[in-house]
Amino acid sequence: MPYTPLSRLEFPIDNWFWGVQASQVFSNMCFSVEFWSRLNTRNALKMQDSDWGQFGFPGGQKTTFSESSQRVADGWMVDVNVDYSLGPRLGACLRPVAGYRYQTFCFIAGDGFQYSLNPASQGPLNGDTFDVRFTFQHLYIGGRACFSLGRLGLTLQADYGWVGAKEVDQHLLRGDRLTKDTDGGSCWHLFASMGMVVRDSLSLRLESDFKRLVVLNCNHYWNEGDGTPIQTWWGAKIWSDQQSVAGYAEFRF
């Protein structure tokens, strides 16, 4: 790749999600399954597409930029994990944790406008222009620290994961243009939860979560023209910063 960057696509998420969580507690272990799915399809944030170094301009010159409305046609996450209690240490219950996460997000962008230093490439983008799906899956290990503060409980977690990522991008305005990126990377995850016991069978809980997934040097493929597969090694990068706040009502039976 003669210069960096060559092209960048950004798909921001600002959506509501609904989810369920189930746990089975044993003597020293806890097994949990968590599922989340997007609730609304549209948000106010725009998909952005930038290109550099086109039309004979130097590599550092941004030559094309577009902004389009987008909808999250599909989006869901699964987290399966198990932890083991080591007992009280320094005022907290320490619990090593290991698990598996799977995420997939499908974006459809369109009805935007493209700005370009080449007048022939400038103008409205009517209809759907991109159909993109990102998939992340990773195994992770880390630790939890649980604190008891009377009727309040505090849980902190940090973990590290090994990510496998896949991106499939259908350029709807370019006929049969299809690109794919696949490779592996890493994920850092930080989590905090505070809960309060309201009565014997009911607890309320508030959680804050942050994940950073980074995949470098992706193998970049595309099909173009007559549909013949072509492979390039552009050193593509896929990244995703994910922040969320969630509220729970827990019922015990």
Strands (DSSP E) found in the chain:
7-10, 17-25, 29-38, 47-52, 62-84, 88-89, 92-116, 123-149, 152-171, 178-199, 202-224, 228-251
The answer to whether 164 touches 100, Cβ cutoff 8 Å, is: no
Tokens of 56: 């004979």
Identify the segments of the chain with pLDDT beneath 70.
Answer: 1-4, 173-178, 222-234
What value, to the nearest 5°, has the Cα angle with vertex 105 and ends 53 and 247? Answer: 125
pTM, to two decimals: 0.85
Give the C-alpha separation, 6 to 220, whole Å. 13
Residue appearing with tokens 């015990």: 252
Hey, how many other C-beta atoms are within 10 angstroms of the C-beta on 8?
Answer: 13
Tokens of 194: 């505070």
Hey, how many other C-beta atoms are within 10 angstroms of the C-beta on 181?
Answer: 20
Give the alpha-carbon dihedral of 125, 126, 127, 132, to 10 degrees. 0
Task: Report pLDDT for 88.
Answer: 78
Smallest Cα–Cα separation from 173: which of 233, 229, 114, 228? 114
Query: What domains sit in the chain, N to C, each tagged with a CATH number?
Result: 7-251 (2.40.128.90)
Task: Report pLDDT for 219.
Answer: 72
Smallest Cα–Cα separation from 138: which of 184, 84, 82? 184
Hey, how many other C-beta atoms are within 10 angstroms of the C-beta on 55?
Answer: 13
